[in-house]
Amino acid sequence: MKMVNDRDIVASVFSDGNEHPANYFYHRKLNDPQFQHILPGPTEAVTCFSPLTDNEFLVGGRNATAKAAIVKYDLRSYAATKFSTGTTQITCLEKNPHNNLQFFAGNTGSTTIKLWDVRNTDKPVAELQGHKSYPVSISATENQNSAYPHLVSIADQEEGYEPGLIWDFKNSAPVAKFTHSFGRPTIVRSLKNGTLALCADCEDDIETFDLTTGEQLDTLHGSDYATCLSELNNGDLITSAIAFVEFYKTKSKKIEDDDLEDIVATMVDAADELAEIFW
């Protein structure tokens, strides 16, 4: 699930109910609980999303010939532009907050994070090398003190433990590491308050770190393991688990606010509808 803007959400399900990867996804609106539009995925399986502009977003996946594919969609017309940036499954996408025509991508066939321009995907704009395994999550936030974004990433752990990396994007090199306690970290997010948050498969907790030094700051205790992790405009965190949504203040406190009930109800209703369709 990803929020494209403060009104629109795109989301997919893990499988079609028959243990097959789902090759379609959903467009939902926060201000209209009844709105739902189903869109075809780029390939045989949808693996990741990233907003690009206020009305455009990217969808990554894989297909039967193992070619990596990315599609750019426009929410106003659902027009689609398809391009390929590699030879295997796309694992993560992230827009460049300093340039809405560029995005970062990782795939299972490379340990390198690549920066692409949607106007020309024949050759990457930049390549970042530092991981020992392929990247599974990338996060970039605007850097007010530089022309280059704050960039963090985590890699697959199947070949052994590997810490997350904080990058000096200008020099295409990691400048710090953050040592997490997770066996299978799945999502990392750099946050506006100068920290980063990390969650993992089958883990209830969220760990936070300093975005400059990589020093661990805190552990947020959840009710179930998070399947997605996003930052709201006010700096708070929103996570979704298998059957519910949780909100966190950035200072380790869950939000207890009746005003959030409508948002939660909307997202839970969407999850219920998906369950009815697929199971």
For 49-105, write each residue's pLDDT tens digit: 898 998 999 988 876 565 667 889 998 999 988 887 666 788 999 999 999 999 999
Would you tell me how many other CB atoms lie within 10 Å of the CB of residue 6?
A: 10
Give the DSSP H/E element, type plus range, for residue 154. strand 150-155
Instruction: Report DSSP letters for 173-211, one per residue.
Output: EEEEEE----SSEEEEEE-TTSEEEEEETT--EEEEEET
Q: Mind listing the domains of the chain with CATH numbers? A: 2-231 (2.130.10.10)
Q: What is the pLDDT of residues 187-206, one digit of tens each?
A: 898 888 888 888 887 777 88
The residue-averaged pLDDT of 13-23 equals 56
Contacts of 145 (CB under 8 A, 6+ apart): none
The three-class DSSP label of residue 115 is strand
Report the alpha-carbon distance of residue 179 to residue 165 in Å, rounded. 9
> Which amino acid makes up residue 237?
L
- Average pLDDT, stretch 230-251? 58
Please give the average per-residue pLDDT across 251-259, as a whole number.
Answer: 44
Of the candidates 276, 252, 272, the one whose C-alpha atom is nearest the C-alpha of residue 264 is: 272
Q: Is the pLDDT of residue 271 over 70?
A: no
Mean pLDDT, the chain, whole residue set: 78
Chain centroid to Cα 120, Å, comes to 23
Predicted pLDDT of residue 215: 95
Q: What confidence score (pLDDT) does residue 261 get? A: 44
Strands (E), 75-132: 80-83, 90-96, 99-107, 113-117, 126-128
By percentage, how much of the chain surpasses pLDDT 90? Answer: 28
What mean pLDDT comes out for the span 161-172?
A: 91
DSSP 21: B
Residues 173 and 167: beta-carbon distance below 8 Å: yes
CA dist 273 and 41 (Å) reads 19
Average pLDDT for residues 230-257, to the nearest whole number? 55
- Which pLDDT belongs to residue 276? 36
- pLDDT of residue 267 exceeding 50, the answer is no
